[in-house]
Amino acid sequence: MKPVSPFLELDETARVPVTFDGTPLDLPQGANLAAALLVAGVDVFRHTPVSGAPRAPFCMMGACFECLVEIDGVVRQACMIDVTAGMDIRKAHEDFRGAV
Amino acid sequence: MERFDLAIIGAGPAGMAAAREAADLGLAVVLLDEQARPGGQIYRDVERAGPVRGDILGEDYTAGTRLTQALLHDRIRHIAGAVLWAIEDGFCLSYTQDGRAAQVSADRVLIATGALERPMPLPGWTLPGVMTAGAGQILLKQSGVLARRAVLVGSGPLLYLIAAQMVRAGTPPLALVETQTVADRTRALHHISGALRGWRYLVKGLKLLAQITRARVPRHTGATGIAIEGSDRAEAVTFTSHGRAHRIDCDTVFLHHGVVPNTQAARSLGVMHRWRRDQACFSPVLDPWGETDVPGIYVAGDGAGIVGAKAAEHAGRLAALAVATSAGHLGQGERDRRAKRLRLALDRERAVRPFLDAAYPPCVEALAPADGTIICRCEEVTAGTIRSHAKLGCLGPNQSKAFGRAGMGPCQGRYCGLTVTALLAAANGRTEDDTGYYRIRPPLKPVTLGELAAMDDTSDGA
Ligand SMILES: Cc1cc2nc3c(=O)[nH]c(=O)nc-3n(C[C@H](O)[C@H](O)[C@H](O)COP(=O)(O)OP(=O)(O)OC[C@H]3O[C@@H](n4cnc5c(N)ncnc54)[C@H](O)[C@@H]3O)c2cc1C
Ligand code: FES
């Protein structure tokens, strides 16, 4: 995480507490999770299962699967979900290989 | 399982216009979209964006509320946040919503799943901080979020649109690194008559360029040897332009060299696709109404070939007319009468395309990346590896799966498919059509056992 985020936000919205890899963050309630994490200065969302390379959101439209994070134990696309209070978010270390 | 006359996948301009047209003609319509709100890519979250965002994004964006509001109709059921993952015979559509799988059925299906950014494999494009330009725009439309220190790389009108929107928002990009050349412009002039028929687009384009120039955003054209540098994230873009080497420090890189049809859903049904040389991509083979070679399956909008939002809307309505006729809700004469106006409008929209396609061709070094460049982001396969498969006798993308793991990650080839086809075609000296594309099988998006277990057979999907 960087002290100054590469991204800035136009609007002010009410914030709710979540954690990212155990670190407490206050994110805008109902905001797109990937966008909110980027603004909060999170720059690595996951490491690839192949080489461990760092990755972060690429398409923001649900197509690339680079924004995968683990939320309350389930691997999900951060760009496809909204922020809710109390989310326990962690970097994803696997992709959907467990899915059918 | 609830049954509808027409199921539409995608609530962008094509899907929204088709839904209203069909509903007005008496059909029961279900509209599925994985986004929480209607709009598609161009009008993403248009109903939620306040006046500040509206001013930044411009009238072409805010005009989308006309289509989103038209979805309020007794015979349209819009199921939002529904990720479609299978279309099966008859037609049964399976989707996931809120962690639960569900199904609906329909006599006919319109695929209006729009476009994807054309993959732009350049050295360093997998680093955090590198995104598609469309992603940058989605951040702005959906979340009011802007990149402070961004460089835009590639070519095409959307690149200018995004740059101008960033200027209006008060965070102009650090630079535009453009890959098109003077020769491209000369070639494009052959299509100037068509472009003049679509003069409104040219005027808009010139206005965007004026805004970018006024904000003193440096433009580097004819850029080659482009690479993104950084160890754990993007730190700089390096390239050569007009004989000079450049390095621009930045935090964010937005890549764009056009959009291509998202063909996943149509391909999963075995719909025939052909290579389009003018747009360097595959698109489905359609009759004049948008029907595919699989009876009852239609495609409209950018998923059928890149034409833009207005044309997508007209094509959506045309498909709806044809569906209404085949469902017995509209006589052929009336269908043809209504179609005439739509076809004229569609032709007007298409007129400017040959000029745009020639003026802003895809970036050559991203179409044929250097051996060391990763082309399959999911499985980290390089261009060199695909070329070595060709040497071992690999003729097509499906065979390449037997040689390695390209295309087998969660994105299912969305960001490597066209590159793999192009690399194999070039290496084997065969056409793209002969080389083919990945065979796409459901599930189109990963489904978990938990989501399947939560499926309720009697679910009406609401
Ligand atoms: C990121 C991006 C940004 C763009 N921005 C602009 C712009 O600002 N101006 C402009 O003129 N053009 C823009 N374009 C070009 C754009 O493709 C067209 O102008 C227009 O949006 C096409 O309309 P459409 O109805 O064909 O598809 P889209 O508007 O793309 O709508 C397709 C819809 O299908 C949904 N979908 C896709 N797959 C599934 C699935 N499996 N399950 C459920 N839903 C699904 C998507 O969520 C989406 O809402 C953009 C393209 C992209 C990719
Ligand atoms: S950023 Fe591409 S799927 Fe989320």
pLDDT attached to residue A97: 53
What CATH number does the domain containing B296 carry? Answer: 3.50.50.60
Let me know if residue B308 belongs to a domain. yes
- Give me the residue from A56, A60, A95 closest to B128, CB to CB: A56
What Rg value do the Cα atoms of chain B yield, rounded?
Answer: 22
At B185, the pLDDT band (50, 70, 90 cuts) reads confident
Looking at the complex, report in whole angstroms how far the Cα of residue B197 sits from the nearest Cα belonging to chain A: 33
**pLDDT tens by residue, B248-288:** 999 999 999 999 999 999 999 999 999 999 899 999 999 99
Let me know if residue B265 belongs to a domain. yes
Q: What is the mean pLDDT of residues B91-115?
A: 96
**pLDDT tens by residue, B131-155:** 999 999 999 999 999 999 999 999 9
Let me know if residue B10 belongs to a domain. yes
**pLDDT tens by residue, B380-398:** 999 999 999 999 999 999 8
Spacing of C-alpha B70 from chain mean position: 23
CB contact under 8 A, A65 and B116: no
Task: Calculate how far, in angstroms, residue B187's C-alpha sits from the geometric centre of ligand 2.
Answer: 36
pLDDT attached to residue B462: 42
Instruction: Please tell me whether residues B253 and B266 are part of one structural domain.
Output: no
User: Which of B240, B257, B274 marks a domain boundary?
Assistant: B257
Q: Is the pTM of this model over 0.90?
A: yes
Smallest CA-to-CA distance from B60 within B149, B135, B143, B168 is with B168
Angle at B275 between CA B274 and CA B276, to 5 degrees: 115
pLDDT beneath 70, residues of chain A: 1-3, 96-100
Instruction: Please tell me whether residues B392 and B280 are part of one structural domain.
Output: no
**pLDDT tens by residue, B423-447:** 999 999 999 999 999 999 999 998 8
What CATH number does the domain containing B372 carry? Answer: 1.10.10
Q: Is residue A78 classed as helix, strand or coil in its secondary structure?
A: helix
Instruction: Please tell me whether residues B132 and B105 are part of one structural domain.
Output: no
Let me know if residue B356 belongs to a domain. no
- For chain A, the domains span 34-96
At B201, the pLDDT band (50, 70, 90 cuts) reads confident
At B401, the pLDDT band (50, 70, 90 cuts) reads confident
pLDDT attached to residue A73: 85
Let me know if residue B451 belongs to a domain. no
Report d(CA B13, CA B268) in Å as an integer: 23
- Give me the domain span that covers residue B406: 368-435
Is the pLDDT confidence value at B46 over 80?
A: yes
Ligand 1 within 6 A of CB of B302: yes
| Number of cross-chain residue pairs from A and B with Cβ atoms under 8 Å apart | 135
Let me know if residue B60 belongs to a domain. yes
Let me know if residue B359 belongs to a domain. no
- Count of structural domains, chain B: 3
pLDDT attached to residue B461: 44
Ligand 2 within 6 A of CB of A28: no
Is the pLDDT confidence value at B66 over 80?
A: yes
* Interface confidence (ipTM) of the complex: 0.94
User: Looking at chain B, which residue has its C-alpha nearest residue A10?
Assistant: B144
Q: Which residue has the higher pLDDT, B399 or B30?
A: B30
